[in-house]
Amino acid sequence: RFFTEGIPVNEKTLALEVIERVASGGSDSMFLMDDHTFEHFMQAQFLPALLDRNRYDSWKEAGATDFYRRCNIEAKRILAEHQVEPKTDEVLKGIKIILQGG
């Protein structure tokens, strides 16, 4: 969803004033110390649900589930929970026509 929504490009997201301020020695000369970064960094990063961002020791304590296993668990959950919407009569007629070669 993050990528399909597109990335807004405007004065606020470009933050040219922040770049200028940090480059000139303001905000302790660090982007991470600037208020703009603090206000916007959560919306500007992609945090995939299946990627574990815990420290190694925390990951081990939680069972050391690797990426492949997390994907497998999620795929099984989707297959178990997904509800297929019934096809309309119009769609079923179209499928029948296609299957009959026409």
pLDDT tens digits, 73-100:
999 999 999 999 999 999 999 999 999 9
Structure tokens, 18: 């922040």
The residue with greater pLDDT, 81 or 36, is 81
Please tell me the total count of domains within the chain: 2
- Same domain, yes or no: 56 and 85: yes
Does the pTM surpass 0.75? The reply is no
- Same domain, yes or no: 19 and 65: no
- Same domain, yes or no: 40 and 64: no
Of the pLDDT bands very low, low, confident and very high (cuts 50, 70, 90), residue 43 is: confident
CB 22 within 8 A of CB 31: yes
- Same domain, yes or no: 62 and 87: yes
- Pick the last residue of a domain from 10, 32, 47: 47
The residue with greater pLDDT, 93 or 37, is 93
Q: Can you give the pLDDT at residue 63?
A: 93
Range of the domain at 68: 49-102
- Cα-to-chain-centroid distance, residue 46: 5
How far is the C-alpha of 99 from the C-alpha of 93, rounded, in Å?
10
Phi/psi of residue 45, each to 5°? -120, 155
Q: What is the mean pLDDT of residues 47-66?
A: 90
Q: Can you give the pLDDT at residue 92?
A: 95
- Same domain, yes or no: 55 and 98: yes
Of the pLDDT bands very low, low, confident and very high (cuts 50, 70, 90), residue 28 is: low
Residue 27 pLDDT > 60? no
- Same domain, yes or no: 27 and 75: no
- Same domain, yes or no: 60 and 96: yes
- Same domain, yes or no: 101 and 55: yes
Q: What is the mean pLDDT of residues 32-50?
A: 80
- Same domain, yes or no: 58 and 102: yes
- Same domain, yes or no: 64 and 99: yes
